[in-house]
Amino acid sequence: MTHIQLEAIHKSYGQTQVLNDCTLEIARGEVMTLLGPSGCGKTTLLRTLAGFVRQDHGRVVVGGAEISHLAPNRRSVGYVFQNYALFPHLSVAENVAYGLKVRRRPAGEIRERVAKALHLVALDGLGARFPAQLSGGQQQRVAIARVLVLEPEVLLLDEPFNALDAKLRLTMQVELRKLIDRVGITSIFVTHDQSEAMMLSDKVAVMRAGRIEQVAAPLAIYDRPVNDYVASFIGRANVLSVEVRGGVVASAPEVVANRADGPARLIVRPENLAIAGADACWSGRILFASAQGPSIEYEVEAGLPEPLRLVVPRQAGEAALPAGAAVGVRIVDPGACIVIGGGSGV
């Protein structure tokens, strides 16, 4: 069941178009991630949902009702800011109680719900501290407790892990996903980190320069990227300029292309290439090799604008081929290759 609909959202600041025809549907209880490079409009789209930004065109619908005209304080949308935006002059408990006080709940109920919310994010006993006395991870949990205590319909999080160091980040990601599943709240994340998107979300919306390029489950995006931009953003990809002739790719005839003859682009994941002998599609020399336990990475110079990248499984005791060695490269699973239109490769 659709819970949130963003319909054809446009937003410009002066001459700069920041959001261009953004349409997105999110099911109830789903975790959606907005993924894209810095400056592509993720935060602006999230702020449109929260009401901090008023779109030029388009509709924001939550639970079947349009909320575009509502002030931020009239929307049941919890927002976790990039740097948490905790009130520095209020204690942790007062921060969490803020929204309940605004709603004029009785003092006893506030105390109870604040304690429950702090327990939910494992911050029991820290209510009397001030935000400046907490670690980054604890501050993040206060920010989440502060909005969840109000039981909003939707949870929005803008790069919630950015301020955390790498080690803590992984733990917090797992914890947050578990928390969201426990509460069962429809959530939208913003991140520029693809592994975070893969790990946290039911669906990923890949954005580029104010547009949504593709919306799908993380693995579907990885396996079936709609274009080379998405392919390179989610995981790594070789994007090759090729010719389609007679329904197949000329340089790799085992790859079937359901499109008219002419120039096209072939997208091949590094793990879908292997070192080959006689049946090679390309031949060249190894530029660089690095063995990494379970796999070996190669870069092969094969007369293409960019070297081919390969990731091949490594057997116990196997060493990488030396740089400079002449090798052939073949496609492992032609069915997993993607051929899209447009002549010039990336």
Partner 1 sequence: MHPVVRRVLHGGGFWPALPAVAFLVVFLVLPMLTLLAFGFVTIERGRIVGDTFTLQHLHSALGDQLIWRLAWRSFYVAVISTVLALVLAYPVAYLFSQTSGIWRTLILIAVISPLLTSALVRTYAWLVILGGRRGLLNQTLLQLGLIDQPLRLLNTDWAVIIGMTQIHLPFMILPLLAVLSGRDRRLEEAARNLGAGRVRTFFTVVVPMSVPAIFAGLALVFAVSYTNFIVPQLLGGGSYSTLAVQVYEQTVVVLDWTRGAVLATILLTSCFVFVYLIVAGGSRLSRWSEIRT
Ligand X SMILES: Nc1ncnc2c1ncn2[C@@H]1O[C@H](COP(=O)(O)OP(=O)(O)O)[C@@H](O)[C@H]1O
What letter represents residue 157's amino acid? L
- Shortest Å distance, C-beta 1 to Mg ion: 29
Structure tokens at 112: 């109870």
Q: How far apart are the first and last CA of the chain?
A: 39
Among 5, 63, 87, 256, binds partner 1 (CB under 8 A): 87
DSSP secondary structure letter of residue 109: H
Among 20, 25, 58, 85, binds partner 1 (CB under 8 A): 85
By beta-carbon proximity to ligand X, the closer residue of 54 and 245 is 54
By beta-carbon proximity to partner 1, the closer residue of 20 and 162 is 162
By beta-carbon proximity to Mg ion, the closer residue of 34 and 145 is 34
89 binds partner 1 (CB under 8 A): yes
- Shortest Å distance, C-beta 47 to ligand X: 7
Q: Restricting to residues 102-141, which ones interact with partner 1 according to CB under 8 A?
A: 102-103, 130, 132-133
Q: Restricting to residues 53-72, which ones interact with partner 1 according to CB under 8 A?
A: 71-72
Among 24, 30, 40, 98, binds partner 1 (CB under 8 A): 98
**Spatial separation of the C-alpha atoms in residues 175 and 57, rounded to whole Å:** 37
Residues that bind ligand X (CB under 6 A): 13, 16, 18, 36, 38-44
83 binds partner 1 (CB under 8 A): yes
By beta-carbon proximity to ligand X, the closer residue of 126 and 209 is 209
By beta-carbon proximity to partner 1, the closer residue of 13 and 52 is 52
- Shortest Å distance, C-beta 189 to ligand X: 12
**Spatial separation of the C-alpha atoms in residues 199 and 48, rounded to whole Å:** 25
With a CB cutoff of 8 Å and minimum separation 6, the contacts of 96 are 114, 117, 118, 127, 142, 145, 146, 149
**Spatial separation of the C-alpha atoms in residues 227 and 336, rounded to whole Å:** 14
**Spatial separation of the C-alpha atoms in residues 344 and 5, rounded to whole Å:** 35
With a CB cutoff of 8 Å and minimum separation 6, the contacts of 68 are 54, 55, 58, 59, 60
HSE of 189, CA atoms in CB hemisphere, 13 A = 29
Among 3, 36, 43, 67, binds Mg ion (CB under 5 A): 43
By beta-carbon proximity to Mg ion, the closer residue of 43 and 139 is 43
